[in-house]
Amino acid sequence: MGSKTTAISIFIITILFWMFMPLSSVMAARKYSKTDSLFLQANRLYLVNADSAIRLYNEAYTQYENRGNKRGEMKCLSRLSMLYDDKGNTDTALTLSYRAVSIGLDNGYDTILAETYLRLGNLYKEKQDYEHAKSFYDKTVTIGLPNTTNGAWASIGILYSNIEEYDSAFIFLTKSYKYYLSQDTTLIPVLYNISSVTGSLGINSFDRNRPKEGLKYIEESLRISRKIGNQQNIISNLLNLSIAYDMLTLYSNSEKVLNEALSIADSIQNSKLKSRVYLLKSDHYYEIADYKQAYNFLKRYHSLKDSLNKKDYRDLLHKKEMKYANRINKIKLKKLQLEKEHAKLKFTVIIAFTGILFFLITFFLYRKVKIRTAEKKKLEHNSKKLNLRLRNAQQRLLNMEGHLEAQNAEIMKKQKQAKALDEAKMKEVVSELENRKILLTEDWEQYKDIFNLLHPEFLKGIITDFPNLTEGDKRQLIMLKLGYNRKKASSILGISSDSVKRAQQRLANKLKLKDIRELAAFVARHKPD
C-alpha cells in the first residue's frame, strides 16, 4: 500500500512539473538577464579589483553553464584565465583558456576565440616557450579582428625583445601603439592597452640605447595605469621605472619606486609580482655596491619563486572536471528521457527521478569523502616537506660556516705563498677564481687579491686611466679579463644575468665605448704602461 501511494505522489509531481513548464521558462529568461548583469559587473571590475571580478565571473559562469549558454561560458572562462594568470596561477589560467578554445571551435565564436588565442600566446611567452606563443599569436592575426590583431602585434614585439631582436620589436610595438591611440581613449580597456604598449616601448628604447626616450614612455605608462587604478599594471610600471632610474644612475628615485611596488604587491597579496620586486631590489642594491642587501633580496626571490613553482592546482582542476562530468551525465539522462517519453512516460519519469536522486547522493558522498581524504594527505605531505626543508636549511647553515672558515684559512695561505708561485700554481689560482663566489664585501677583497696574482698591474692601470670607476665596475672588469660569459659571471657575483648585462653596458658607456663587445676587446688588449 505504501509503495502504491509513493508511486501516485511521484506521478502527480510529474504532471505538475509539465503543467508549470511555461512559467519556469519565463523565470529562466529573467535569470538570463541577471546572469548578463553579473558578467557586465565583472567586466567593470576586472581591471581594478581582481578578487571581486573573479567572484562575479564564477557566479556568472555557473549560471551560464546551468542553462547551456556556451557563449557566456566561453566569455567567463577567457576572462578568468587572464585574472588567474595575473595572480600567478599559470596552470589554472592555461586550463581555463583551453576550455574556452574548445567551446569556441565547436560553436564558431571567432571574437572570443581571438581573445583567448592571444591570452594563450601571452601565457606561453611567460613560460619562455616562444614557439607555442608565436603560433597562437599567428592564429589571432588570422582571425583578423582589429583589437585582438593589434594586441597580437604588441605581444610579438615583446617576444622579439625577449630574444634581443630590438629593432623588429620596435616595429611591431609602434604599429600596435598607433592603432590604440586612434581608438576612444576614454574607455578603460583602450587605456589599459595603451599603458601596456607604452611601457613595452619604454623598455625597448633602453634596449636600443635611447634612455631619455625610454624614461618618457615608462613615466607615461605609469600615469595611465594610475588613472585606471589597475594595481598589477602599476607595479609592472614601477619596476620598469626602477630599471630606468638605475641605468641613469638616479638611485634614490629607483629605491623609492621599488619600495612603492613592494608595498602594493603586499597589499594585494600577489606573490608573482612580489618575486619580481625582490629580484629588481637585488639588482638595484648591486648597482649601488650594497652587496649584502643584494644577496639578501636574491635569496628572498629564489625562496618565493620556488614556492610559486611548487603550487599544486590539481585539486581545483579536479573539482572543475567533476562539474563537467556532472553536466554531461545530466544531458545523457535528459536524452534518454526524451527517447522513451511517448512509450512509457510514467515509468521513465520514476526511473529518471530515482536515478538522478541516487546519482546526486552517491556523488555528494563520494565527493565529500574524496575531498577529506585529499586534504588529509595534503596536510601530511606538507608537514613532512616542511620538516625536511627545516633540516636541510640547518645543515646548509652548518656547511656554510665550515666553508667560510676553511676559505679564510686558504686565502691566508695563498697570500703568504704569492711571491713563490710558479706556472703550475698559476693554474691553481685560475681554478680558485672559477669556483669562488662573491657574496659579501670580504669575499670581494679576497677575490681581488687572488686575481692580482694573475694580473698584478691590470686593475692599477685601469684605475689610473679611469679613476672614477666604482667597485661594481671593477668586478665587471675582472669578469671580462678572466673571459667569463654572463652566466658564469652572474653565478660568481650572485646576481641575475640581466643585471650583469646592464652593468657591463653602463661600464662601456663610462669608458666611451660603443657596446659590450668593444668593452671586452678593450679589456683583452689593455696593458698598463
The mean pLDDT value for 433-458 works out to 82
User: Does pLDDT of 331 surpass 70?
Assistant: no
Residue whose C-alpha cell is 556568472: 60
The mean pLDDT value for 31-56 works out to 80
Cell of 343: 512509450
Report the Cα–Cα distance between both ends of the chain, in Å, rounded: 116
Cell of 504: 657591463
What per-residue confidence (pLDDT) applies to 330?
A: 63
Cell of 490: 652572474
Angle at 69 between CA 65 and CA 73, to 5 degrees: 60
Taking the C-alpha atoms of residue 519 and residue 523, their distance in angstroms, rounded to an integer, is 6
Q: What are phi and psi of 288, to 5 degrees?
A: -95, 20
The mean pLDDT value for 319-334 works out to 57
Cα separation values, 224 from 79, 192, 274, 371, 472, Å:
22, 8, 22, 45, 35
Of the candidates 39, 126, 140, 52, which has an alpha carbon nearest to the alpha carbon of residue 89? 126
With bands split at pLDDT 50, 70 and 90, how would you rate the model's confidence at 161?
A: confident
Report the percent of the chain where pLDDT is more than 90.
16
With bands split at pLDDT 50, 70 and 90, how would you rate the model's confidence at 44?
A: confident
User: Does pLDDT of 529 surpass 70?
Assistant: no
With bands split at pLDDT 50, 70 and 90, how would you rate the model's confidence at 37?
A: confident
Taking the C-alpha atoms of residue 106 and residue 84, their distance in angstroms, rounded to an integer, is 24
Distance of CA 18 to the CA centre of its chain: 52
Burial label, 402 (beta-carbon count in 10 A; 0-12, 13-18, 19+)? exposed
Give the pTM: 0.48
Taking the C-alpha atoms of residue 29 and residue 37, their distance in angstroms, rounded to an integer, is 13
Q: What is the pLDDT of residues 59-76, one digit of tens each?
A: 889 988 898 888 888 888
User: Does pLDDT of 528 surpass 70?
Assistant: no
User: What is the 3-class SS of 289-306, one letter each residue?
Assistant: CCHHHHHHHHHHHHHHHH
User: Does pLDDT of 27 surpass 80?
Assistant: no
Q: Over the range 170-204, which residues count as b (16 or more CB within 10 Å of their CB) and which as e?
A: bebbbbbbebbeebeeeebebbbbbbbbbbbbbbb
The mean pLDDT value for 26-32 works out to 46
Say which amino acid occupies 504.
Q
Between 321 and 501, name the one with better pLDDT: 501
Angle at 475 between CA 393 and CA 495, to 5 degrees: 35
Give the long-range contacts of residues 159-167, CB within 8 A, separation 24 or more. 159/125, 159/130, 159/133, 159/134, 161/200, 161/203, 161/204, 161/207, 162/125, 162/128, 162/130, 163/130, 164/207, 166/204, 166/207, 166/208, 167/208
Of the candidates 240, 251, 336, 341, which has an alpha carbon nearest to the alpha carbon of residue 287? 251
Q: What is the pLDDT of residues 117-133, one digit of tens each?
A: 888 988 898 888 988 89
Taking the C-alpha atoms of residue 482 and residue 492, their distance in angstroms, rounded to an integer, is 12
Taking the C-alpha atoms of residue 368 and residue 230, their distance in angstroms, rounded to an integer, is 38
